[in-house]
Structure 1
Amino acid sequence: MSRNLIGTGALIRLALRRDRLVLPLWVLVLGVIPAATAGAYETLYPTAAERQSLGAGMGANPSTSLLYGAAFDLSTAGGFTAWRYGAFLALFAGLAAVFTVTRHTRAEEDTGRLELLASAVVGRFAALTAAVTVAAGGSLGVGVVATLGLAGAGLPIAGSIAFGLGTALAGWAFTGVAAIAAQLAEYSRTANGMGAGTLGALFLLRGVGDASTDLGWLSWASPLGWATQVRAFAGERWWVLALPVAAAVVLTAIGYALLARRDLGMGLVPARPGPATAAPGLRSPLALAWRLHRGPLLGWTAGFAVMGALFGTLASGIGGLVGDSERTIFERMGGAQSLVEAFISATAGILAMIASLYGVQATLRMRSEETAFRAEPLLATPVSRLRWAASHLTFSLLGTGLMVTVAGPGTGLAHGSRVGDVGGQLPGILAAWLAQLPAVWVVVGVTVAILGSVPRLATAAWVVAAAFLLISLFGPVAQVSQAVLDVSPFTHVPKLPVAEFSATPLLVLAGVAAAALLAGLAGLRRRDIG
C-alpha cells in the first residue's frame, strides 16, 4: 500500500500551489458569511414578538423548509443562523469539494499530465489521495473559519463547533462522491456533472424531507440533511456527525477500489464509440460545440424549468408568512413594495446568478479544449480563432438566455395558475427574468476577458462568479453596505415586475459585457494557444 502512495506529498504541494487563489477564497468567503448574519440578528429581529412571529411563520412553513431546512430554534441568533445557512453552506462546501477532486484527478488525466507524472516515481493512489486531502482540508477550513467567526460574534461555543463540523463533514462526504465520479467518468466535465447532479438531487431530497411531515425520513438520506439535523444552537445532537464521517470513509474507499480496477486515462463507464466518419452535420465549429455542450445545456435547462415552476408555486403563499424584518430582506433583494412581487423578483435574480455559473462553465470549455490539445488541430485548419471562440460563446450567451426564457414562463404559469390570472402575471414575470440577462452576460464577459488575457488564471472566473452570487444572495441578509452590493452586476438590474422599468442600467451592463468580451477576444487572438 505504501508503494501506491509514493509522491503524495509532492502532489499535495502542487495542488495547493495551483489552488492558491481559489481555495483560500472559498474558505474565507463561505466561512465568514454566517458570522456576518449572526451579528445582524439583533437588528433584524429586535423584539421577542418579532422573533416569535418569525418562528410561527417562516419556521413552521413547508415552503421555507424546502429551501432552508427545518427550523429548530429561531428565537436566538445562533438558531436563526444555523437555519438560514446550514443547508446552503453545506451545499457550497460540497460543490467546492467536487470541483477540487475532479480538477486534480480526472482533469489531470484528460490533459495527459497525470500519465507523465505516473511515469516517474508516483504511486497509483497518489493523485487521488492528494486531491482528497486538499478537498477535505478546504472543507475543514470552511468549518474552522465558520466556528471561529460565530464564536467571535458571541454565540455559544458548543453550537459554533457543531455548525462548523456539520459544514466541514458535509464537504467530506461529497469529497467521497467526487472520488467515485472521477473513476466512473472518462472526462472531467462528465465527472463534474455526476458530482454536481448528485449534489442537486440530494439537496432536493433534503428539501422534500424537511418540508413534508410524512416523508421526513428523506432528510436523513442526504448529507445536506445531516448538516442541519445536528441542530446547532438548538440542543446539539453530536452523534449525527458520525453519519457524514462514515459516508466519507465508505465513499472514498469505494473510489480507491474502483481506481484499482481501471486503466489510467479510462473510465469505468466508457464513452460511447463514435462512427468511423463524421456525420454531415458535424462539419463546422458550431456543430462540434453543440456536440460538446448539448448534455450540460439540456440538463441545466431542465433544472431551471423545474425550479422556475417551484418558485412560482411558492410565491402566492409567501405574503402571510413573514414579519416586518424578513419583509425588509426580501424587498431589499427584490426592490418591490409587494412582498409577493419582491419574492418573484428576488428568485429571478437568484436563479439568474446560478445561470451565470453555467455561463462560466461553458466558456471555460474553451480552456479545457486548449489544455487537452484538441483546439490546436482544429485551429490548424481554415477555422479562425474568433470563429472557434464564437462557436463556444454561442452556448455561453444563448444558453443562459434559454435557461432564463424557460424558467420565466414556468414561474409565471405556476404563479398565475395559483392566483387565477395567468394572462396578467406571465408578461411581467417574464420581463423580470429577461431583465437579468445583461448581468449574466457580464459574468460571461469577465470570464472571456480572463481567459483571453491570463489563461493560466482561468479558474479565477469561478471566484468572480461566486463572489457576485454571495454578495447578492447574502449581502441583504447581512446588511452589508450598498457600496459592497454594487460590486455585483445583479444589484443594478431593475427590480421588475413592480419597479419602474429603466433601460439605462441594462444598457450599461450590456456595454460592460460587450467590452469585456471584446477585450477577451482580442487577447485570445494575440496569445499562444495552449
Structure 2
Amino acid sequence: MSATSGSPTLTGTSPLTRLALRRDRLMIPLWVLITGGLVASGPGSLGSLYGTAAQRAELSASMTANSSMRSLYGPVLDDSLGGLVAWRFGTFAAVLAAVMSLLIVVRHTRDEEESGRQEMLSACAVGRRAPLTAALLTALTANAAVALLVTAGLAGQGLAGALALGLAIGGTGMVFASMAAIVAQLTESARLAKGATGGLLGLAFVLRAAGDAGSASGDSVLTWLSPIGWAQHVRAFAGERWWVLLLIAAAVVVQTAVAYGLTARRDVGMSFLPTRPGPAEGRLATTGALAWRLQRGTLFGWSAGFLVAGLVFGGIVGGAVDIVGDNEQAREIFERMGGQSALTDAFLATMVGMLGMVASLFAVGSVLRLHGEETSGRAEPLLAGPVGRLRWAAGHLVIAFGGSALIMLLGGLGLATTYGKDFGPILGAALVQLPAIWTLAGLAVLLWGAFPKAAAAGWGVAGLFLALGWVGPALNLPQVVLDLSPYGHLPKVPGPEMAWTPVLALTALAAALVTAGLVGLRRRDIRN
C-alpha cells in the first residue's frame, strides 16, 4: 500500500477506507435508507394525519402533558409539521445512527484484529493509526449520507430546521463512533466492544428518557448528560441552537484523540482490559455449553433490554387515545399495524409487533455467530475432534430460537406489568410473533449453511422487513408490499380473533429453511 498522508502513522488510510466502504457496500446504504428514510417520510405521514394547525396544536399539548410519551419521544418543542417530525422521529433516528456507527467502527477495528486480518495488513506499509482512521472515515461517510438524506427530505419544511436535524442525527452517530473507537482499544473481543458501546447507548437513552419524563421543557440536567439529548437540544424547527452542534463536535474530537492515544500504546490484537483467563481445566463438556458460554452475555443484554422496553411501552398504552384522538387517519394506521379491533388492542398489537421485529435482529445475529466462528478459524479445530457439524450448529441454534422466545416473553411480561391487566392475552401476543422471528432466523441458517458467502445478506433481509413494518403503514404502502414481510401474515393479537393457519404455516416454513440450511452445511467445506 502506498502512503496517502504525510504522517507515517496514517500511511495506507486511503486504501483501507476504500476497502471498508467496499465491504460495507450493502450494509451502509441499507442503514442510511432506513435511518434517513424514516425521517424523510415524516412530513408525508404526519401531514396527512395532522393537516391543520389546530390538530397539530392539540397533539402537541396532549403529548407534552403525557410524561410517558415524553420519556419515549421527548417533548414537542414546536407544533409545526417540521417540529412534529423532529419530535416523532428525531430520537429514534439518532439511536439508529448510533447503532450503525458503533457497528461500523468495531467491525473495522477490533473485529479485524480478532480475526487476524489486521496483523496481515500491518505487515504491509500501514501506519499504526491508519485502521482506526479508516474506520472513523467510513462512519463519517455513512453519517454524512444520513444527514444529507434527512436535510433533503425535510428541506420543504424549512432549510434551517432540516439542516439542524440532519446534522444533529449525523453528529450523534459520530459521537458513538468515536466512543466505540475508545472501547475497541480497551476490550479484547469485538463482541464485548459492541456490547459495551451498546450498553453506553442504552444508558444515554435512559438518561434522556428520565430527564424528559420529569421535565416538559426538555432542559433537564439528565437530558444534558445524554448525547442523545444533545440532538434534541439542537431544537430543530423550534429556534435552532446551533451552538449545541459545537458540543457534539467537541465530544467527537476529544473521544477521537483519546482513541488515537490508546491505539499508539498497545500492540495489534492486544487490549488494555484483557480477557480473564479461564480455569486450568476446561469446564465445557458439550457444544451446547460452549454456545451458551459464547452467547450468554448477548442474551442477558437483550433480555434486560426487552424487559425495560416492555415496561416503557406498557406505561404509554393509556396515552394511545391521546395520540389518535378523533383522527380517523391515525386510527386507520394503528389498525393497519395492529388489526381491526378496539384501539387499545390495536395499540398493544402494534407494540408487540415492534418488539417482534426487533427480536428478529437478535435471532439473525445469534445464527450468524456460527458464520463468525467459522470464518475466524475457531470452528475448524473444534470440528477436527469428535464433534459433528450438526451437533456444533445445534448448540447455537438453540440459543437463537430459544433465546428469541425468552426475550419476547420478557418483553410481553414488562408490557403486561405496567399496563396492569390482560397478562394472558399479552403474553400470548408476544409468543405469536415467534413464527415470523424464526422464519428470518431460518433464512439466515439457509444462507449460512448453503451459501456462506451470502450469509451477511441475512442482516439486509431483516433490516428490510423491519423497515417495512416500521414505516410501511405510515407511508400507506400497498398491502401486497407489506405482505412481503412474514410479520404481515401474523394474526393481530390481542384482539377478538386468532388465526392459527398463518402461525402454523410460518412455523413449518422456518423448519424447512433450517433443514435446508443444515443439509447445505453437511455438503460443503468448512472455511477458515
Relative to the length of structure 1, the TM-score reads: 0.94
Q: Say yes or no: does 1:134 pair with 2:142.
A: no
In the alignment, which residue of structure 2 is the partner of 1:419?
A: none
1:317 is displaced (CA, Å) by: 4.1
In the aligned structure 2, how far is the partner of 1:478 from the partner of 1:37? 9
Decide which of 54, 63, 67 is 1:62's aligned counterpart.
Answer: 67
In the aligned structure 2, how far is the partner of 1:42 from the partner of 1:350? 23
In the alignment, which residue of structure 2 is the partner of 1:476?
A: 473
In the alignment, which residue of structure 2 is the partner of 1:264?
A: 268
1:321 is displaced (CA, Å) by: 4.7
1:36–1:478 Cα contact (<8 Å) kept: yes
In the aligned structure 2, how far is the partner of 1:129 from the partner of 1:371? 25
Which secondary structure does the structure 2 equivalent of 1:15 belong to? helix
In the alignment, which residue of structure 2 is the partner of 1:30?
A: 35
> Which residues of 2 match residues 352-501 of structure 1 at below 5 A?
352-416=356-420, 422=421, 425-501=422-498
Q: Residue 245 of structure 1 aligns to which amino acid in structure 2?
A: A
In the aligned structure 2, how far is the partner of 1:30 from the partner of 1:411? 26
In the alignment, which residue of structure 2 is the partner of 1:316?
A: 318
Q: Residue 99 of structure 2 aligns to which amino acid in structure 1?
A: L
> Which residues of 2 match residues 157-236 of structure 1 at below 5 A?
157-213=159-215, 216-236=220-240
Divergent runs of 4+, >4 A: none
> Gapped runs of 5+ residues in structure 2?
1-5
In the alignment, which residue of structure 2 is the partner of 1:97?
A: 101
In the aligned structure 1, how far is the partner of 2:452 from the partner of 2:33? 24
Q: 1:133 to 1:183 in 2, by over 3 A?
A: same
Which secondary structure does the structure 2 equivalent of 1:316 belong to? helix
2:68–2:315 Cα contact (<8 Å) kept: no
1:504 is displaced (CA, Å) by: 0.9
Deviations 1:179-200 (A, max 9, x none): 0111111011111101111111
Which secondary structure does the structure 1 equivalent of 2:248 belong to? helix
In the alignment, which residue of structure 2 is the partner of 1:294?
A: 296
In the aligned structure 2, how far is the partner of 1:414 from the partner of 1:43? 32
1:53–1:322 Cα contact (<8 Å) kept: no
Q: 1:114 to 1:511 in 2, by over 3 A?
A: same
1:57–1:322 Cα contact (<8 Å) kept: no
In the alignment, which residue of structure 2 is the partner of 1:331?
A: 335
2:42–2:89 Cα contact (<8 Å) kept: no
Deviations 1:381-428 (A, max 9, x none): 121111111110100000000111222223223322xxxxx4xx1111
Q: 1:181 to 1:311 in 2, by over 3 A?
A: same
- The alignment-based identity, stated in percent, is 49
1:373 is displaced (CA, Å) by: 0.8
In the alignment, which residue of structure 1 is the partner of 2:3?
A: none
In the aligned structure 2, how far is the partner of 1:187 from the partner of 1:458? 21
Of the structure 1 ranges 401-410 and 55-64, higher mean CA displacement relative to structure 2 is found in 55-64
Q: Residue 470 of structure 1 aligns to which amino acid in structure 2?
A: A
Deviations 1:186-222 (A, max 9, x none): 0111111011111111112111112212982211111
Q: CA RMSD in A?
A: 1.7
1:257 is displaced (CA, Å) by: 1.2
Q: 1:340 to 1:508 in 2, by over 3 A?
A: same
Which secondary structure does the structure 1 equivalent of 2:279 belong to? coil
May I ask how many residue pairs the two structures share in their alignment?
518
In the aligned structure 1, how far is the partner of 2:189 from the partner of 2:39? 35
2:68–2:312 Cα contact (<8 Å) kept: no
Q: Residue 294 of structure 1 aligns to which amino acid in structure 2?
A: R
In the aligned structure 2, how far is the partner of 1:413 from the partner of 1:36? 33
Deviations 1:324-374 (A, max 9, x none): 244333332222532222222111111122211111221111111112211
> Gapped runs of 5+ residues in structure 1?
417-421
1:336–1:499 Cα contact (<8 Å) kept: no
Deviations 1:413-461 (A, max 9, x none): 3322xxxxx4xx1111111111011111112112112212332332222
> Which residues of 2 match residues 110-121 of structure 1 at below 5 A?
110-121=114-125
1:249 is displaced (CA, Å) by: 0.8
Decide which of 85, 107, 123 is 2:89's aligned counterpart.
Answer: 85
Q: Say yes or no: does 1:11 pair with 2:16.
A: yes
1:330–1:342 Cα contact (<8 Å) kept: yes
1:61–1:321 Cα contact (<8 Å) kept: no
1:109–1:115 Cα contact (<8 Å) kept: yes
Q: Residue 182 of structure 1 aligns to which amino acid in structure 2?
A: A
1:37 is displaced (CA, Å) by: 2.3
Which secondary structure does the structure 2 equivalent of 1:477 belong to? coil
In the aligned structure 2, how far is the partner of 1:436 from the partner of 1:371? 31
1:161 is displaced (CA, Å) by: 0.9
Of the structure 1 ranges 108-117 and 226-235, higher mean CA displacement relative to structure 2 is found in 226-235
1:529 is displaced (CA, Å) by: 1.4
Decide which of 494, 499, 506 is 1:502's aligned counterpart.
Answer: 499
1:20 is displaced (CA, Å) by: 1.2
In the aligned structure 2, how far is the partner of 1:477 from the partner of 1:131? 35
1:34–1:146 Cα contact (<8 Å) kept: yes
Deviations 1:29-87 (A, max 9, x none): 3222222221233321233332222112124322111111221113x221111111111
In the alignment, which residue of structure 2 is the partner of 1:46?
A: 51
1:487 is displaced (CA, Å) by: 2.1
